[in-house]
Amino acid sequence: MSWDPTTYLGFADHRTRPAAELLARIDMTSPARVADLGCGPGNSTALLATRWPEAAVHGVDSSPEMIERASRAGLNAAFSVGDIAGWSAEAPYDVIFSNAALHWLDGHDALLPHLMSQLSKGGVLAVQMPANFSAPSHVLLEEAVLETGSKDLIARLRGNPVSPMAEYHRILAPHAANLDIWETTYLQVLTGNDAVLQWTSGTALVPFVSELAGQQRDDFVDAYRGKLAAAYPQRADGTTLFPFTRLFMVARCA
């Protein structure tokens, strides 16, 4: 599965805003070690490096393309390709930050306590994940996949990977001295033609188009495009309204 940093950053402001709002809720003055898990092209890492310029900031992502782009951004941070599902720290971190990455992974009931165990005393785990999987953008993508009849594409479908807030409270509360969990729905105003398709082309659509080529790929994308156009009509001024819900968690280690 290949990720395109340029496509992802086509909506850089919208994608970075939740990271900035998550960062603002971290009460930490001068952490020595900060990890950005699922750092992508470094847009969230830039916020961390600016907030804590004296910290050793380390960005990790499974995509070589994303890490290559992040490494060229001139940030005061180190980057490496790695599978965050199996990530363990060489030494405890004061902040473990993850913006829009952990929803790609299963097993949150084990993953989140593991990440808490990688923190120093008083350290903070801060996580943001999309919680938009019942929205038309995702429901219609599943519909388009099922209509292909392709076993390979259908095998890539997943159920909603993000649990209700109460479930994350159950998972994290035994490991946290302080825990804050909330959701925010952003009314994103997108511009340009096929705006929601362009959005999902950098994220949710990637696992499916990676399996296709040529006319099959074009036909699949066109079918999805038509569904999105009906669900998210472009307005007379050229904008498209795209409500998007995100879940946030900030947990401080005892």
Catalogue all structural domains in the chain, each as residue range(s) with its CATH number.
5-253 (3.40.50.150)
State the average pLDDT over residues 191-205: 92
Question: Is residue 173 pLDDT above 60, yes or no?
Answer: yes
Amino acid at 74: G
- Residue 149: per-residue pLDDT: 94
Residue pair 252/177 in contact by the 8 Å Cβ criterion: yes
Tens digit of each residue's pLDDT (9 = 90 or more) over 104-116:
999 999 999 999 9
Tens digit of each residue's pLDDT (9 = 90 or more) over 41-63:
899 999 999 999 999 999 999 99
Residue pair 112/171 in contact by the 8 Å Cβ criterion: yes
- Residue 202: per-residue pLDDT: 84
Q: What is the distance between the alpha carbons of residues 145 and 118, in angstroms, rounded to a whole number?
A: 38
DSSP bridge pairs for 79: 59
Tens digit of each residue's pLDDT (9 = 90 or more) over 119-130:
999 999 999 999
Q: What is the distance between the alpha carbons of residues 203 and 215, in angstroms, rounded to a whole number?
A: 21
| Residue 91, φ and ψ in degrees, nearest 5 | -145, 155
Confidence band, pLDDT 50/70/90 cuts, at residue 12: low
Scanning the chain, the segments in alpha helix (DSSP H) are: 5-8, 12-24, 43-51, 64-71, 108-117, 136-148, 151-155, 165-172, 195-201, 206-209, 214-231
Question: Coil, strand, or helix at residue 247?
Answer: strand
| pTM, to two decimals | 0.92
Q: What is the distance between the alpha carbons of residues 218 and 209, in angstroms, rounded to a whole number?
A: 9
Between 197 and 5, residue with greater pLDDT = 197
Question: Is residue 9 pLDDT above 90, yes or no?
Answer: no
Strands 93-99 and 119-130: parallel
Question: Is residue 36 pLDDT above 70, yes or no?
Answer: yes
- Residue 3: per-residue pLDDT: 46
Question: Is residue 2 pLDDT above 60, yes or no?
Answer: no
Confidence band, pLDDT 50/70/90 cuts, at residue 254: confident
